[in-house]
Amino acid sequence: MRVKMSMLYDGLKSCILCKKGSSYNKSVPVDDVCFSKKSKIPSDVRYLFIDWSDYDQSAYVNIPSEMLILASRSESIENEHFPPCALIVYAASSLSLLFEMCRDVMRTYFEWGDSLLSLMMNSADLNQLTSHAHNLLANPIMILDNSMKLLAYTPDDPMDDAVWGLTVDKGYADLDHQASQVLKRALILLNAHDSAYNHPMHANSIASATSVIVNHHRVAIVSLMQKNHPISEGDFDCLCYFGKLLSLYFKTFDFHNHLTDNQIEMVLLDILDGRFTSEEELTTRLRNVNWQPQKHFFILTIQSKLAFLNPAQLKKISESLIDIIDHSYALIYDNNIVLLINHDHPDCLNFQTMNTLDHFLKTNQLWAGLSDDEDHISEIPRLYRQALMALEMGSHLKLDNNLFSFSDYRFNSLIYSFVKLGDIKSYLHPAIRKLDAYDQKKGAALLPTLIAYLKNNSKQLKAAQELYIQRGTLLYRLKKIEEMCQLDLSDPQTIFDLQLSLQIEHFSNHLSE
């Protein structure tokens, strides 16, 4: 990391007396330092140490004043005699000692940055990075995303601050319950490309916050909670550097798949991943992102029929879908486009909207699965599974559609789930296999007779007409089926068992074809 003038000043003032000059520039990088007499002015360093007693402004006319660090052994200097220097140091015993002090300060900051970077390159996890940064800064740290969910914190340094304690215990910040000014301010930062510095936390605590940028998105904040010492400008510079490292870390370890600029999307991703442990947490997080759910929820999941879509293509399709369907939010999850539709009315997907959607899907060679309607946002994971099942049913049944509704394939989905267990013949009613074997051996038609009888809801005349046989022939075959398989075809439970077995076998045969 690059050491700046403010960091040099913060490091020196703890051991010697310093004063900022009138042209002091805290943000200017300090590449190197050197001490010199006016007869030996080096040209390859950023800052020069000049003994006050040796200072002659005319001798340094070609040296910018912000490159000078003037030192004096006196502890009192008249203000009106201050030259326009970057930094004034007084009560220094010698220039060489001052030079070594500056080098020590710079070395400390360099090592601070190197140790964090080395830890990150060795695949340390987020909590290890946070803990190490805490040890270097001597202050507790917490990292939150922009829906105020706690991503990491320093567990080995307990805080007596109420807000810190609540956030760590719950795993998220509750901005309406003893909320701190710094957390509220930090949330605003994510919309302002800004940094907060030394804002009130709670009671007597102080905190700093900075945003972390990943792929041009503001995805997290870092809050430094004061405990052991006041937060200096140098500390804040280190905190900002830690934020830059986190940005690199998030990119390296694919955190951008879970972190987004859309605050609502952050919460929806956590719902899909099943990360909420209580209704209270879900309610608070939704309130933190200032979003009020409506009464009806649908999930629409979209996939490509032809090829894998890259993130840019997925995003473009998502934006188009949002324009087609009102009150919808799109996110990318498991390389699928997942559209949450949240509306006051269950009939929000009207005929015109569905026609427009269907045309868009056909034009772009996409297909989509639509879930049922639910009235609570916590049901999103189940609705997502329904939408995926609708897509899977359309694929396996080789249907020439672009939009599949789970409600149309609910029963088939149930059977399909059963078929995927394997060895379905073991679960079929024994009569099915017995009748099939008899027909194969004798050239009879007992199984087709049973199928026609069940298909026509046990109506004998309709079954006989479908089979092109006399009613008496049908009754004879049914009696033979009952005797051979020891069945009672007047028993509703037996009828249901046989119907379910035939549906499973039919569906299995269809898939195998």
Residues linked to residue 108 through DSSP beta bridges, in sequence order: none
pLDDT in tens, 377-406: 888 999 999 999 999 888 877 777 889 999
pLDDT digits (tens, 9 = 90+) for 231-256: 777 888 888 888 888 888 887 776 65
Tell me which DSSP letter residue 4 carries. Answer: B
- Of all residues in the chain, the percent with pLDDT exceeding 90 is 18
Fold of 424-512: Arc Repressor Mutant, subunit A (1.10.10)
Residue 473 banded pLDDT, cuts 50, 70, 90: very high
pLDDT number for residue 202:
44
Q: Judge whether residue 161 has pLDDT over 90.
A: no
* SS3 per residue for 245-304: HHHHHHHHCCHHHCCCCCHHHHHHHHHHCCCCCCHHHHHHHHHHCCCCCCCEEEEEEEEE
Exposure class string for 64-101: b at 16+ Cβ within 10 A, else e:
eebebbbbbeeeeeeeeeebebbbbbbebeebeebbeb
For 346, phi then psi, to 5°, come to -70, -20
pLDDT of 213 strictly over 50: yes
- List the CATH code of the domain at 293-410: 3.30.70.270
Answer whether 431's CB lies under 8 Å from 485's CB: yes
Report the chain's terminal Cα–Cα distance, integer Å: 64
Tell me which of 35-49, 130-144, 276-290, 488-502 is least confident.
Answer: 35-49
Task: Match 């600029």 to its residue by tokens.
Answer: 261
Mean pLDDT calculated for residue range 54-79? 76
Mean pLDDT of 157-164: 73
Give the span between the Cα atoms of 357 and 331, in whole angstroms.
17
CATH number of 123-257: 3.30.450.40
Q: Which residues contact 230 (CB under 8 A, 6 or more apart)?
A: 206
Candidate ranges 17-21, 34-38, 155-159, 482-486; pick with highest mean pLDDT: 482-486
Q: Which of 179-193, 331-345, 476-490 has the lowest mean pLDDT?
A: 179-193
User: Rounded to whole angstroms, what are the CA distances from 217 to 145, 247, 261?
Assistant: 12, 10, 5
Tens digit of pLDDT for each residue in 447-471?
A: 999 999 998 988 999 999 999 999 9
pLDDT above 70: percentage of residues in the chain? 84
User: What is the pLDDT, as a whole number, of residue 203?
Assistant: 45
Cα separation, 45 vs 47, in Å, equals: 6
| Average pLDDT of the chain to the nearest whole number | 81
Q: Which residue, chain included where needed, has tokens 């940028």?
A: 213
Give pLDDT, residue 360. 93
Q: Where do the H-state alpha helices sit in 180-232?
A: 181-189
Q: Is the pLDDT of residue 307 over 60?
A: yes
**d(Cα 322, Cα 40) in Å, to the nearest integer?**
69
